[in-house]
Structure 1
Amino acid sequence: MPSNHRLAGQSGVIWTDLAGETFLVRHGGTGPQVHDHIVLRLSGRWPLPTIQRFEVERGTLLSMVAQGSGIPLLGAASGLLPAADVVFLPFVDEPEPIVFSAVWLPQNRSASLQNLLSLAAEITRP
């Protein structure tokens, strides 16, 4: 969320804190699953959340957050990368981790893939 958001100084958030917020969701990638997750967690809450969908990359999405356009749901890895005027907060009341999976060709030895796999291994360590 933007660093000047009313919840930015907290150590974490609960879903009811976010009722009535504007959520930013990407059209592609995990966007449809994120959309459904927001609807699931905030169903029956008042005021209703607003969900806006965009065809943007992560960097653009974080710029939109910094400008106060709304808040996204991002994986834990996103908090490892610097983003000016953006605060990353965990959910305190998320009942279970959201499963993430990746598929790649075994012949792919690109540096980007190796970095992704290293990051995924680091995040999954207890």
Structure 2
Amino acid sequence: MIRKHLPSNATLADVFRDLAEPEEYLRRLLGNMRFCQKHHGDACVRIGVSGKGTKGFAPSYRVDYMASDGNLVAFNGFGGTSHSAFTGTNTLETNWSHGHLAIREVQALYDDLKKDVTLRARWAND
């Protein structure tokens, strides 16, 4: 079986419309990002690039924060379907994208998606 890989600099913004359940995925991802933000003041997310980049997928992701020296530090990795935390080893060894989105950018994606869902539902009822 041939696996498709995402580009090494892919971000959630590049793939979120292809997610299996984008609203639920983003909601749960944001919950994990907020936990990091609560403890470290900010959060950003990278996605796993070794999974399939086709419609209906749920990539694993890593939440990072900015250290005082300006470097990104891994907070934890999470499974894309379960949103459960990885072990420390898996968090560091998985193929993560070089690109990332800040929590405010992920929140904007979620807000836009919610608006789209609301508009589609309103149009369906007209």
Report the TM-score range of the alignment, normalised by the length of the smaller protein: under 0.3
Q: Which structure's relative contact order is higher, taking Cα pairs within 8 Å and 6+ residues apart?
A: 1
Higher-helix-fraction structure: 2
- The TM-score, its normalising length taken from structure 2, stands at 0.22
Higher-strand-fraction structure: 2
